[in-house]
Amino acid sequence: MSITGIIAAAAIVGIVGIFVGLFLGVAGIKFKVEVDEKEEAVLAALPGNNCGGCGFAGCSGLAAAIAKGEALVNACPVGGDAVGEQIASIMGVSAGKTERKVAFVHCKGDCEKAKADYEYTGAEDCRMLSFVPNGGPKSCSSGCLGFGTCEKVCPFDAIHVVNGIAVVDKEKCKACGKCVEACPKHLISLIPYSAKLVVACRSTDKGPVTMKACDAGCIGCGICVKNCPQGAVRVENFHAVIDHEKCTGCGVCAEKCPKKVIVKA
């Protein structure tokens, strides 16, 4: 190849390079995505668990909502007040106080107390058992199935199946709500961390039916209601419910309960 050809080729490559560079530069300016500095700062302050407990699709979704004023600065259940205050400082607002919550499994029907209608062998996923008779082998159709779907979805290792029922470690629980959503029996709820007593049963069957199915089921007798000095207990749908705002933790209801289903939270 002659020297002229080499120079011409180099010139063409140089011109093409300049053209591509200019094109990319113009395109970068034209299609530039503006970054919200507050959104970036909020995202950096969030714990990064992406658990979805705030109701948004991960931490980035919550950060965007907070930056737009569409979510509270203390909406992250994992970060709690400390992260809420940090984000409030970024947003230039007051965080306010939120009460820590934890998950609780409303069931005491373990392997000794709950009766079984048959022996189940199959997929160990509570959500799959809606296809089997009575929604599972336990006689109580409202009881914990004990196959650990809640345990599998918990990102904080805060819930484990012990002797046939799920149990929450309240110190590890961050109230993300994944276990609440996963439980097909709707046995898990988020209660205040400061709650003193709670009813460990969600059976909606009448007393005689519950007694046949489980030795630790609420029979809706109302003895707890009659003996609570604060009027903090009521019976709804054949099982007791405690109003945590009224409850002082005196323990009279737990002491009087004939089935011992009112326990320390």
Q: How many CB atoms lie within 10 A of CB 47?
A: 15
Cα separation of the two ends of the chain: 87
Is the torsion defined by CA of 170, 137, 262, 202 positive or negative? Answer: positive
How many angstroms from the chain centroid is the CA of residue 68? 24
Q: 10 Å Cβ neighbour count for 217?
A: 30
Spans of all domains in the chain: 37-91, 101-264
Q: Which of 138, 140, 139, 164 is nearest to 151 (CA)?
A: 164
Average pLDDT, the chain: 89
Domain spanning 37-91, CATH architecture: Orthogonal Bundle (1.10)
Band (pLDDT 50/70/90 cuts) for residue 221 is very high
Give how far Cα 240 sits from Cα of 106, 111, 126, 207, 243, Å: 11, 23, 25, 12, 10
Topology of the domain covering 101-264: Alpha-Beta Plaits (3.30.70)
Structure token digits, residue 103: 């998950």
**181: part of which helix (H) or strand (E)?**
helix 178-182
Q: Which residue has the tokens 């707890």?
A: 224
pLDDT at 56: 86
- Read off the pTM: 0.78
202-213 burial, b at 16+ Cβ within 10 Å, e below that, comes to bbebebebbeeb
Residue 235 β-bridge partners = 240
Side chain identity, residue 93:
V
Residue position matching structure tokens 């007051």: 94
Would you say 188 and 104 are in contact if contact means Cβ atoms under 8 Å apart?
Answer: yes
CA 98 to chain centre: 16
Q: Which residue has the higher pLDDT, 75 or 218?
A: 218
Mean pLDDT confidence for 187-204? 95
Task: Answer yes or no: same fold for 37-91 and 101-264.
Answer: no
Q: Tell me the per-residue pLDDT of 201-215, one tens digit each, with 9 for 90 and over.
A: 999 999 999 999 999
Task: Give the pLDDT confidence score for residue 238 in this predicted structure.
Answer: 93
**Is pLDDT above 90 for 146?**
yes
The least confident of 65-74, 160-169, 194-203, 256-265 is 65-74
Residues 23-59 have pLDDT tens digits of 666 666 665 556 578 889 999 999 888 888 888 888 9
Kind of pairing, strands 159-162 and 188-192? Answer: unpaired
DSSP 8-state symbol, 141: T
Closest CA to 219 of 162, 142, 145, 161: 142
Helix (H, G, I), strand (E, B) or coil at 91: helix
Q: Are strands 188-192 and 101-105 parallel, antiparallel or unpaired?
A: antiparallel
